[in-house]
Structure 1
């Protein structure tokens, strides 16, 4: 006898901001009458570290000492113990999107090392002869748009064989000279990222120039840290396949 449990939100995009009300229905579909011990909903958010095959070993020194940080927690009893009739039963719920005391609702984020995740968890409690029935649904938290727009900050740059970081011997790198500017290193995610670049000299032809937006994470504690912030990378590949890269930290805001 299969009992199907589902969660549907009123907002189809599942995007919320602090002080909004999250509302929807829990849907129970059962082929026969079913006795239950109550239906409960938990709305929670947390910042957590995660290990994958890509980063295992990168922060083993402090992974076990860092526990998930709870940002939001709300528990609701949305149906008391009783019976569900044969067919579909819909149970409405709603709750304010509010952080725990002295906490901040950071934007939803799925990274290499860090997860900021917000979940709805519904459970139908059953007696000891039957397993509880669970359903989880992720929703998204966004920051409110910044009303006081941050002032732009132009960043002019020069890239040549002498400016490259992490290069011990530049003698093998073709001589070149590139100048340019980033129109603003304080960037709204709602606006295009713009700038200009000029190749003033290169000993050999250049095969390609790439501009990459990179999400970098810094994660750590007293035992150590692992860095993998937002930055823009300009990568130059010469015809002999030499690759040179320059990094420019930027600040993003909504």
Structure 2
């Protein structure tokens, strides 16, 4: 399951899926995850006509429905979002459905429910340390959402692609090894041994589930790690090269430019 942490760390996404429309009846405590940032609407019921609400020039919202029950809303929603870099897609996020709906069933996804409750409490009370806590809880909430989706896919026998890779002990062991030490000069034989398979058997299984050979994925993860370090750390290029398995700045810069289409220094200077 450590690979799910990598998804949150990288937070890359692919292109949105089809424009097909979906309708879901939501209940108290339900969680909905929109993986591709597509437009969506909320209404009091599935058959209620939608009303467009726009911000007016004076900063007020036009078309807002009247409050009921003496000023108390019928429902309160808790929303959060990530700003995603769409230029590099993480395989797991690219395989998510357009909408992940996790109903609040009795006894289901207890950790997810707890995270939602904690997040709601922090946002409602706004005590010292709330800003830092909310940031951490959003990452935690995303992990629980991904885990809940993965577990539901596995339980329903639909664990394919990355969901299948996470469920496969040998491939999951190799992914953890790469994540734990991307600077190590991994070979296919070593990664296979981590999962108890021969070199050939491991290479076939990894490629079938992940969608690319082990060393190709290793390079991708090294470059993803390097991109994150360039944007968020003050390490020198030599230090980043060492942490991602390159013996020289030149070799690292060449691999980075091949992957990103730009030099590492330029990437750092233009980071948001």
Question: With structure 2 as the length reference, what TM-score do the two structures score?
Answer: 0.23
Greater C-alpha radius of gyration: 1
Between structures 1 and 2, the one with greater helix share: 2
Question: With structure 1 as the length reference, what TM-score do the two structures score?
Answer: 0.24
Between structures 1 and 2, the one with greater strand share: 1
